[in-house]
């Protein structure tokens, strides 16, 4: 242990750690603006138009400045420590998970060989922080939101893990860098990239299950029950204000990006270019990776402004009686496919 | 099992239908009007603010009488004989000084009833709707273009003339009465002379 610590340059650690943080912060500013623009266009509006000139591009920055100036309100009867701690813990959980995401062929936060396992384990802490926030707020909406969120995230972790397991089964590695490297090249049908989603029909099913599950895991519509604005005010965020609320928002968007990037790594070849060696290399790799992740994020936003919210019982029904059996059957069939071919 | 597959198929189909609708709207045209920069053209006959073309007003008071909420306040002074106020653009002669023509837009209920009685079409609605004020008193619009000194002068003049007229009339009445009395007296004289003549002829 002491040897490892001696070998690591603290400045290098800081730089390494700062890269995903920068990506998250820039992405959050763009994504919040983008989501509002997408919402506006879908509803035949314009969205933010004023701040910063061109199509209100600085709207998120203005919102951030406003949130910084807001009073930090802590309810009298709240459990102070838990209440203050929850948003930071939530962001820490989604930030920590970025350590094993291979942003390009040249950069990965930590080259651990149990990457996927670590990621899924760390994102489980999100559930804990949501319950923490809901319980510590001492508010019925918050508590209901927290409880719903706990039930939802615990349930949907099962199909997520089962579908990720399907990919791991095919790839034979838990290290996301290795999984990505496996998908290099354009051999399928002569032109399709070797992405896992094209390699095996069961992986398409796995991707559908995975996508539905990450929608639920990141509290996106139609599974946004934990914070359903129209019935629970704001769910577990009800009592939060100012920067603490902003931390929740940031963590939520970071979580969305994280799971989308995980999807891009597992099914769409990560940083591999869709044109083989053309436009390859570490920088283009980063570009392709972010493009794939952001496309998934945009689809999630598109779904948000299309669908209404599920009821709690429907949510549980979808998970326990459809997705979980299906994902396990899919896992077994993939295993058979791997044995036969 | 079959039912579950059917249900799932229906779910996916409806989701994709919905997403198709939203993507069409995403690329469709927005209906937003960027209000302070762009403004919608008001439809013809929109009632938003009253305006009085004071040069055409003849001071007939018809609009004030038509107003159901009494938001129009008019005070007129008859023009003296030495001034000619001219004619309106419709050809009606102007006979009154308009010393006061106030419209209280805070009271106005936009019924348009004052517009139609006007014989010279000088009161009408203009398409102007951004006139909110911090103080209600600022919503009273003054349309009279006479200076306060002018108003006082006109009033004094009009009073003098009215007095003069009254005196003239009294004088005239007195003269008439005198003349009448004279005539009567003469007639009586004549009658008396004639009766004398007749008497002589009879003799």
- pLDDT (tens digit per residue) in B128-140: 888 888 998 988 9
Question: Would you say residue B146 lies in a domain?
Answer: yes
A contacts of B20 (beta carbons < 8 Å): none
What does the pLDDT look like over B34-80, one tens digit per residue?
A: 888 888 888 888 888 888 888 888 888 888 899 999 999 898 888 87
Q: How far is A73 from chain B (nearest CA, A)?
A: 34
Number of other residues whose CB lies within 10 A of the CB of residue A320 = 14
ipTM: 0.77
- Provide the percentage of residues in chain B whose pLDDT is more than 90: 12
Q: Which residue range forms the structural domain that includes residue B122?
A: 49-151
Closest alpha carbon to B60 in B27, B101, B7: B101
Side-chain half-sphere exposure of B143, counting CA atoms within 13 A? 24
At A260 the pLDDT is 92
Q: Which residue of B has its CA nearest to A48?
A: B34
Cα A121 → chain centroid: 13
Rounded CA-CA distance A161/A193 in Å is: 25
At A1 the pLDDT is 44
Judged by CB atoms closer than 8 Å, whether chains meet at B32 and A44 is answered as yes
A contacts of B22 (beta carbons < 8 Å): 42, 302, 305-306
A contacts of B29 (beta carbons < 8 Å): 44
Question: Would you say residue B106 lies in a domain?
Answer: yes
* C-alpha torsion sign, points A24, A291, A256, B32: positive
Report in angstroms the alpha-carbon separations of A241 from A145, A236, A249, B135.
16, 12, 11, 36
Residue B86 belongs to a domain with what CATH number? 3.30.70.3270
Asked if A160 and A213 count as a contact pair (C-beta separation under 8 A), the reply is yes
At B33 the pLDDT is 86
Q: Which residue of A has its CA nearest to B1?
A: A322
Q: How far is A241 from chain B (nearest CA, A)?
A: 31
Domain boundaries, chain A: 1-69, 75-340
Judged by CB atoms closer than 8 Å, whether chains meet at A38 and B26 is answered as yes
Residue ranges of chain B whose CB lies within 8 Å of a chain A CB: 4, 8, 15, 18-19, 21-23, 25-32, 34
Question: Would you say residue B40 lies in a domain?
Answer: no
Judged by CB atoms closer than 8 Å, whether chains meet at A43 and B34 is answered as no
Q: Which residue of A has its CA nearest to B12?
A: A208
At B17 the pLDDT is 92
Question: Would you say residue B24 lies in a domain?
Answer: no
Block means of pLDDT (10 residues each) for chain A, length 341 residues? 60 83 91 90 88 86 90 86 89 89 82 87 87 87 84 88 89 86 77 81 89 87 76 79 87 90 88 78 86 92 88 87 90 88 76
Q: How far is A268 from chain B (nearest CA, A)?
A: 21
Kindly state the tokens that stand for A272: 């591999």
Total domains present in chain B: 1
């Amino acid at each position: 242990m002491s040897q490892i610590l001696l070998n690591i340059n603290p400045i290098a650690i800081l730089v390494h750690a700062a890269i995903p943080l920068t990506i998250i912060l820039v992405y959050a500013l763009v994504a919040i603006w983008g989501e509002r623009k997408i919402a506006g266009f879908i509803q035949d509006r314009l969205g933010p138009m004023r701040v910063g000139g061109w199509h209100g591009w600085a709207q998120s920055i203005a919102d951030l400045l406003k949130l910084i100036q807001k009073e930090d309100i802590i309810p009298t009867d709240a459990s102070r420590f838990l209440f203050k701690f929850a948003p930071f813990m939530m962001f820490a959980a989604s930030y920590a998970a970025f350590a094993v995401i291979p942003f390009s062929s040249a950069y990965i936060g930590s080259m651990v060989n149990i990457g996927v396992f670590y990621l899924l384990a760390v994102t489980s802490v999100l559930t804990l922080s949501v319950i923490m926030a809901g319980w510590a707020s001492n508010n019925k909406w918050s508590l209901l939101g927290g409880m719903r969120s706990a039930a939802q995230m615990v349930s949907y972790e099962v199909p997520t893990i089962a579908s990720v397991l399907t990919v791991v089964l095919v790839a034979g590695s838990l290290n996301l860098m290795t999984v990505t490297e496996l998908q290099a090249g354009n051999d399928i049908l002569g032109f399709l990239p070797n992405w896992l989603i094209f390699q095996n029909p069961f992986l398409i099913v796995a991707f559908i299950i995975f996508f539905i599950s990450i929608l639920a895991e990141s509290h996106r519509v139609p599974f946004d029950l934990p914070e359903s604005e129209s019935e629970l005010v704001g769910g577990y965020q009800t009592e939060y204000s100012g920067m603490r609320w902003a931390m929740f928002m940031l963590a939520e968007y970071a979580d969305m990006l994280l799971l989308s990037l995980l999807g891009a790594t597992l099914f769409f070849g990560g940083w591999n270019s869709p044109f083989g060696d053309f436009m390859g290399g570490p920088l283009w790799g980063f570009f392709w990776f972010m493009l794939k992740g952001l496309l998934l994020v945009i689809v999630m936003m598109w779904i948000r402004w299309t669908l209404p919210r599920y009821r709690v019982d429907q949510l549980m029904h979808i998970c326990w009686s459809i997705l979980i059996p299906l994902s396990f059957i899919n896992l077994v069939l993939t295993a058979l496919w791997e044995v036969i071919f | 099992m079959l039912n579950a597959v059917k249900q799932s198929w229906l779910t996916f189909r409806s989701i994709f239908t919905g997403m198709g609708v939203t993507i069409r709207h995403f690329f469709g045209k927005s209906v937003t009007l960027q209000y302070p920069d762009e403004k919608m053209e008001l439809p013809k006959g929109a009632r938003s603010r009253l305006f009085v073309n004071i040069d055409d007003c003849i001071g007939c008071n018809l609009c004030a009488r038509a107003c159901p909420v009494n938001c129009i306040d008019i005070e007129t002074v008859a023009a003296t004989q030495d001034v000619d106020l001219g004619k309106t653009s419709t050809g009606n002669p102007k006979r009154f000084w308009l010393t006061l023509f106030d419209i209280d837009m805070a009271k106005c209920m936009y019924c348009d009833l004052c517009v139609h009685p006007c014989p010279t079409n000088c009161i009408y609605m203009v398409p102007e709707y951004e006139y909110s004020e911090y103080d209600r008193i600022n919503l009273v619009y003054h349309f009279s273009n006479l200076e306060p000194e002018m108003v006082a002068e006109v009033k004094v003049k009009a009073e003098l003339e009215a007095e003069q007229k009254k005196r003239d009339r009294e004088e005239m009445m007195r003269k008439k009465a005198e003349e009448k009395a004279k005539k009567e007296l003469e007639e009586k004289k004549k009658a008396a002379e004639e009766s004398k003549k007749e008497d002589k002829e009879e003799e």
